[in-house]
Amino acid sequence: MMDRMDFEVQARPGPVWITPAQTAVIVVDMQNDFGSPGDMFDRAGIDISGIRAAVPPTARVLTAARVAGIPVIYLQMQHRGDLSDMGGPDAPHRQRHALLRVGETVTAPDGSPTRILIEGQWGTRIIDDLAPEPSDILVPKHRFSGFFETPLHTILQGLGARHLVFTGCTTSICVESTIRDAMFRDYACILLEDCTAEPIGAGNVRSNHEASLLTIQVLFGWVSHSQDFLKALAD
């Protein structure tokens, strides 16, 4: 681990200066249910190729961040076994997730039984290629935003973090929801565009992923690329 002074990251709408000692990397929901073949998204017929493509650049960012002494925080979307944290029968969150069979017992790709999007199960484990290190922090969540009824804000305050570098999935849902809440709490957010993906609207002339990037760079933070972030750390 090395101690670094401020560094400049090329981004849109303009370069942003960040201080490693006041920075954290946030990995949003890069777990089997969303990004592994044979699990929740894949079972539902949702194209996970974009999420899979985001894994290698994300892995490089996490390695560099750890070397630079920047904390890595993983968000994990999951629910209690009794589904008591999904809201009542009429809650939109519960209704939408029923389409994805949340809570059902299925066979995981490794042949073991697992329950969809339930804590402690195969599907809510972080993708193997992005497996957390012992020094990393894991924060479970049960809604799209990583700040909703979680200790994330308290953890970031304890770290003295002011700058948040975002990776993960999906761009327009959990990533954007968390960035919005972070901005409301006065964090400066940088989203690495090649380290995230959005299946919804991917076939549109202008994808939901692209729309979220524009929204973020105009009003909620900055948009950069993993190569620019890595270059800034290396310079």
Which residue out of 141, 169, 189, 228 is catalytically annotated? 141
Within 10 A of 138 (CB to CB), how many other CB atoms are there? 12
Residue 223 main-chain phi, psi, to 5 deg: -120, 130
Beta bridge partners of 34: none
Which residue out of 29, 33, 39, 42 is catalytically annotated? 29
Alpha-carbon torsion 97, 189, 74, 197, what sign? Answer: positive
Residue 96 main-chain phi, psi, to 5 deg: -65, -40
> Is 29 one of the annotated active-site residues of the chain?
yes
> Is 231 one of the annotated active-site residues of the chain?
no
> Is 141 one of the annotated active-site residues of the chain?
yes
Residue 188: helix, strand or coil by DSSP? strand
Which residue out of 39, 42, 169, 174 is catalytically annotated? 174
Alpha-carbon torsion 97, 212, 154, 152, what sign? Answer: positive
Catalytic amino acids?
29, 141, 174
